[in-house]
Amino acid sequence: MAVRSTKIDAFNLPVGRIIAGKYVVEALLGAGWEGEVYRVTEVRTGIRRAAKVFFPDRNLRDRALRFYATKLERLQKCSMVIRYHHSESFTYRGVPVVALVSELVEGEILEDFLLRQPGRRLHPFEALHLLHALVSGVEEIHLQKEYHGDLHDRNVLVQRRGIGFEVKLLDFFHWGRPSRANMQDDVVQLARLLYDAVGGPERYSRQPPEIRTICCGLRRGLILRKFPTASHLRRHLESFAWAG
């Protein structure tokens, strides 16, 4: 008897598809190496949720599912972490698959948000406000002895709130046990997010010293010498003196 392959690179679940007999697919929110994320509505209550559907060959023995569920549960009190609810199983073209169901948060992928801004970038003052929101959230995660591991503009949801920003993190990267090096990678990636938010390499030479002091030309050693932890970077943002 032929063995059905579990190799799936895309689900492309149609709008209206019911998964696990409980959720109606509304829209695809994003896709990554491990699977796809959908906005869904719970049939019984009408409440909207997010469902991350894992590609079977990248969730062998539910390792990826358990990793995400465990980490989200452990970090449930951290402001930037999406709240985990439960998992569901269903069949896709005869292949068993699982979905991680979580809260649906409002916001826009940071990359898309930046593309809508004048000049496709933020004013330095705005960018520093955004960085402060990100750093404060990452600091909470680090204080729980955890890390993100893959901070970039496709893994951040952002929404303006007055003069500040509300941010949520997507797709924690599975590198194994947390370490000082993992957490320092998060700090360097935060500096890179600032660098990109103000215009990247084309604009960097014209940035004010408040920006260049943090980005350090993206030289990892310099960044970590000034800001060995997220706490150091957060304190700097709350206390530095403006040059101009």
Distance CA 168, CA 190 (A): 14
Q: How far is CA 235 from CA 58, 135, 136, 226, in A?
A: 39, 10, 10, 11
Strand partners, 166: 159
Fold of the 18-103 domain: Phosphorylase Kinase; domain 1 (3.30.200)
Q: What is the torsional sign of CA 229, 230, 235, 241? A: positive
Residues of the chain with CATH 1.10.510.10: 108-237
Q: 87: which 2 tokens? A: 């998992």
Question: What radius of gyration do the chain's Cα atoms show?
Answer: 20
Long-range contact pairs involving 199-204 (C-beta distance under 8 Å, separation at least 24) = 199/119, 199/120, 199/121, 200/121, 203/121
pLDDT of residue 244: 61
- The reported pTM is 0.88
What is the model's pLDDT at position 163? Answer: 83
Q: What's the pLDDT score for residue 5?
A: 56
Cα 197 from Cα 199, distance rounded (Å): 6
Fold of 108-237: Transferase(Phosphotransferase); domain 1 (1.10.510)
Edge to edge, what strands does the sheet with 108-109 contain? Answer: 108-109, 156-161, 164-169
195: helix, coil or strand? helix
Q: Which sign, positive or negative, has the C-alpha torsion 208, 209, 215, 216?
A: positive
State the residue for tokens 């009190």.
Answer: 77
pLDDT for residue 6: 67
Report the SS3 class of residue 188.
helix
What residues pair up with 30 in beta bridges, in sequence order?
37
Residue 231's CB is within 10 A of a number of other CB atoms, namely 16
Distance CA 109, CA 77 (A): 22
Which residues are CB-neighbours of 22 under 8 A, at least 6 positions away? 42, 43, 44, 88
β 95-103/164-169 pair status: unpaired
**What are the residue ranges of CATH 3.30.200.20 in the chain?**
18-103
pLDDT along the chain (244 residues), means of 10: 67 96 94 91 97 95 93 93 95 95 93 96 97 98 94 93 90 79 97 98 96 98 98 97 79
Distance CA 12, CA 234 (A): 40
